[in-house]
Amino acid sequence: MSDPRTVTELACAKLNLALHVRHRRPDGYHELETLFALVAHGDLVRVTLADSDSFTLTGPFAAVLAGEGDNLVTRAAARFRAAFGGGAHAIELEKHLPIASGIGGGSADAAATLRALAALHGVAQDDPRLFAIADALGSDVPACLLGRTALGRGRGEQLMPLEGLAGTPTLLVNPGVAVSTAAVFQRWDGVDRGPIGTGDLLTVARTGRNDLEPPARAVAPAIDAVLAALAAQPGVLLARMSGSGATCFALFDTHAARDLAAAALEGRGWWLAATHLR
């Protein structure tokens, strides 16, 4: 029987199906237009009512984060308590997503923490105060909290939910290289190549681009081999890098095509996740 004092949330990886950087703003951020989508694969966050606060890291990528002490999960919990109360919690983060990989792992973890805390304490999942906390934690956290496909503007936090592409077979591939978001943005050439288009979501994604892909490939040339390998697989609808890299993804026309591609790319030392869009 499950413990009613514990809530487990999946922290879904986030993909930028398209990411258009329009200009650098006076506040130092970049004005973006991005088509967000989430996949049915990610970290797990378990939050339990407790007598004292604790934070535990487990999972295959736990060692990379060990010793940080302060991260987006603990910050999310602290800000939730400041806004809503709720006492102490034991939080476990089961880390399955690579670190600094362009798929919003830390943002997804923070959003999952907020959802779990809201469920434990009877706070509505669409409470505006949750989204205010998410926005203060980082540009991708509101999209991860929303938990569905959306068009993002501003820093990415101005969200318009969209329908379409749910269930599309997806393969994530990371070459095992951590990429600094700041370093990639610093190498962006500053050219505004225009807005995201209109139409059905697959068309919008395919006619779009990721403006951070060229600078990320300069920072981490290993991305080149991943994109080439994905693009060469049968049944690919779209192959692209997500966020500031280095994780790349491919959307497929069938689950069988995705699984064949995953099998073909095994053994290269890359991290792979066969999943689908939510």
Distance (Å) of CA 58 to CA 63, 92, 105: 8, 7, 14
Is there a catalytic annotation at residue 126? Answer: no
How many CA atoms lie within 13 Å of 74's alpha carbon, on the beta-carbon side? 10
Handedness of CA 130, 82, 28, 110 (dihedral sign): negative
Is there a catalytic annotation at residue 140? Answer: yes
DSSP 178-196: ---HHHHHHH---------
Cβ neighbours, 10 Å, residue 235? 16
Q: Is the peptide bond before 124 cis (omega within 30 degrees of 0)?
A: no
**Residue 18 near residue 204 (C-beta atoms within 8 A):** yes
Catalytic residue (one of 14, 95, 109, 211): 14
Catalytic residue (one of 135, 140, 189, 259): 140
Q: Provide the b/e sequence for 196-210 (b: ≥16 CB within 10 Å).
A: beeeebeebbbebbb
Which sequence positions are flagged as catalytic? 14, 140
